[in-house]
Amino acid sequence: MFNEMVEDGARWSDGTVLRADVILWCTGFRSSLDHLAPLMLREPGGGITMIGRLATQAAKVPRVHLVGYGSSASTISANRTGADAAMELMTFLGVQKR
């Protein structure tokens, strides 16, 4: 597991940075998003505004998708939305289906 998110990816404790064009973060029911604080995703009231067809994209950083947060925060929604979000991101990245 990485330690923090940086402008262009994620950083591990040894300083290694992995660049990422898109991040799909499946939060679960007790989302722990402190590591995303440097991205300043939160609104003044503390929430994160979600956008996109699936409402999984963080409005302030659309390359960050939070599946299981907001309207996709239920077992059924997270499972269905997770699969749809993965397919949407593959299309966005130009990855061919296998």
The pLDDT assigned to 71 comes to 64
The stretch 35-55 carries a mean pLDDT of 88
Do residues 72 and 55 touch, judged by C-beta distance below 8 A?
yes
Predicted confidence band at 75 (pLDDT cuts at 50, 70, 90)? low
Distance CA 73, CA 84 (A): 14
The pLDDT assigned to 30 comes to 63
The pLDDT assigned to 24 comes to 67
**Which residue intervals of 1-98 are DSSP H helices?**
75-93
Question: For residue range 54-70, what is the model confidence (pLDDT) as tens digits?
Answer: 888 889 988 788 877 76
Dihedral, 90, 79, 27, 17 alpha carbons, nearest 10: -30
pTM: 0.62
**Residue 19: other Cβ atoms inside 10 A:** 9
Q: Give me 59's structure tokens.
A: 């409005």
